[in-house]
A and B are shown apart, each in its own frame.
Chain A
Amino acid sequence: MNKIIISNPQHPLFEQISKLENFVSLENLTDQSCELLIDFTAQDSNAKRKLFKKFNCPIISDLSLNDGESLLKEFRNIEIAISSVFPSPNLKAEVFYSLMTYKNELLDLFEKLDLKPIEVKAPGIGFIFGRTLVQIINEAWFALEDELATEDAIDTAMLFGVNYPRGPLSWGAEAGLKNTVQLLEELFSTTNQNRYKVCEKLKEASL
């Protein structure tokens, strides 16, 4: 099958993805046609829209940072939406199947990336895990901004007080601060709720 796998360095799995067969870096992507586009880019929804407009073929897309509900309504050729930007300690990723045609393609790909799929009923905005995680990370940054405690103390408290699998600040660093900010901004612009306002210190650190 003539398929294209794309990603960008903002995606934490970029290095692994770039070693896959049929890989094309987003910056080198030309107007080529294919039978299946597998999009592993981490970018905002407007950039995703621009990308999807170039392809009429079926798409599997990583919508970790996006309002997946809206994008799926807008682009009916997105058959599978996944979320693999935010690092799972169990190496698992949420998957939403709009259609099952390319399920095996995805499973094959996940195996190569050492990921296990967890099927969900909808992508929502940033899926379930990413959306919850960025809110925890954002608050950890607010705490840091308020000089409540040191970075180490904040992570220690969450690791040993409530058994979180990662300290929120190191988890944010692993996910990429830019990705964290992008999902928070997507949540803010989609819901218009101040609870998603990004901590200034986090925003500055992400630049």
Chain B
Amino acid sequence: MNLNLVTIIGAGTMGRGIAQWFAQCGVRVELTDANSEALQTGLDLVHSSWKKLEQKGKFSASEVSGFKENLKAVALSELSTSSDLVIEAIIENLEIKHKVFLDLDKRMGPKTILASNTSSIPITELATPLSKDRKARFLGLHFFNPATIMKLVEVIKGSETEQKLCDDLEAWFKEKGKKPAQCKDSPGFIVNRVARNFYGEALRIAEKREYSEIDHVLKEVGGFRMGPFELMDLIGIDINYDVTCSVWQAFNKEERFAPHHLQKEMVDKKHLGRKTGQGFYPHE
């Protein structure tokens, strides 16, 4: 498989991170966003990241110059129609995503692969409005933040996605140093499903124990880089709670995915973690 031109829709944290990673891999990238200011900010942030990496000696000046050549900010209306792969990384809203993909389906060449970086919307549902041929070339590519560092890409096959397309993309990502993991289109995919009980069980243990003791044990004994309460504070307790509720609902309220009352209480109190200065721990 050859990916010469990749288009990223959405210049937020995930979109610009994915764009940066592809550009670093030597692929030409068009980064776009419906909001022109957000697009310019996204591009500036990637450039500033490269500047820092160059200062740290991670990349040479000529490498960074090449990366900048690879990455272009392009208005939504002016995207190349010959892109090999378009990855959508916008707000998690089905209606808005449908509009974007319908438009892309009409504008892009017949061979263009369309992909979503969604973490919660079923891939098959996202593909609903697409033409039959495009459905075969539509899949989920779920990157993890920060996309330039985290190696995993979940390659998610929708009900009509060609198996060969998933296999070819898996091989391509492997060749570029990522660790792809293929999976079926199922709630939470792999990570957001299997990781739920890291938080869920810790919250139940916390009914009788202190957060700091649980975090300490899971880091020291379990070897996890962060404890569940520190991590929830970092991610945002509201965001973690939303993911928990979404997976729980999607699994018909299976008890093992049930949110814990403490999560809701924290959200109601606006104790959301680092971003509000108070979560399970106080933050300055």
Q: Which residues of A contact B (CB under 8 A)?
A: 88-90, 92-94, 118, 120-122, 124, 127-129, 131-133, 135-136, 138-140, 142-143, 146-150, 153-154, 156-166, 168, 193-197
Distance A135 CA – B203 CA, assembled complex (angstroms):
13
A-B pair count, CB < 8 Å, reads 144
Q: Which of A143, A146, A153, A164 contacts B224 (CB 8 A)?
A: A164
Q: Across the interface, do A129 and B205 meet the contact criterion of CB distance under 8 Å?
A: no
**Given A131-B201, A139-B196, A158-B194, does the pair A149, B184 have CB atoms closer than 8 Å?**
yes
Q: Across the interface, do B222 and A120 meet the contact criterion of CB distance under 8 Å?
A: no
Q: Across the interface, do A128 and B217 meet the contact criterion of CB distance under 8 Å?
A: yes
Chain A residues with Cβ below 8 Å from B255 are 193-195
Main secondary structure of the interface of B (DSSP, over half): mixed
Chain A residues with Cβ below 8 Å from B183 are 148-149, 153, 157
**Given A122-B209, A139-B196, A153-B183, does the pair A133, B222 have CB atoms closer than 8 Å?**
yes
Determine if B214 is an interface residue (Cβ-Cβ < 8 Å): yes
B218 CB → nearest A CB, Å? 6
Distance A128 CA – B198 CA, assembled complex (angstroms):
11
- In the complex, the 3 A-B pairs of residues with the closest C-beta atoms, listed nearest first: A89-B223, A161-B152, A165-B223
Chain A residues with Cβ below 8 Å from B218 are 128-129, 132
Distance A165 CA – B223 CA, assembled complex (angstroms):
6
Chain B residues with Cβ below 8 Å from A160 are 144, 150-152, 179, 181
Determine if B186 is an interface residue (Cβ-Cβ < 8 Å): yes
**Given A92-B220, A135-B201, A139-B194, does the pair A157, B209 have CB atoms closer than 8 Å?**
no
Determine if B264 is an interface residue (Cβ-Cβ < 8 Å): no
Q: Across the interface, do B222 and A165 meet the contact criterion of CB distance under 8 Å?
A: yes
Distance A94 CA – B189 CA, assembled complex (angstroms):
32
B30 CB → nearest A CB, Å? 26
Distance A122 CA – B208 CA, assembled complex (angstroms):
9
Q: Across the interface, do A120 and B213 meet the contact criterion of CB distance under 8 Å?
A: yes
Q: Across the interface, do B198 and A132 meet the contact criterion of CB distance under 8 Å?
A: yes
Q: Across the interface, do B184 and A128 meet the contact criterion of CB distance under 8 Å?
A: no
Q: Across the interface, do B222 and A124 meet the contact criterion of CB distance under 8 Å?
A: no
Distance A74 CA – B196 CA, assembled complex (angstroms):
34
Distance A148 CA – B217 CA, assembled complex (angstroms):
30
A194 CB → nearest B CB, Å? 4
A162 CB → nearest B CB, Å? 5
**Residue on B nearest A169 in the bound complex, by CB:** B194
Chain B residues with Cβ below 8 Å from A129 are 217-218, 221-222
Chain A residues with Cβ below 8 Å from B246 are none
**Residue on A nearest B205 in the bound complex, by CB:** A128
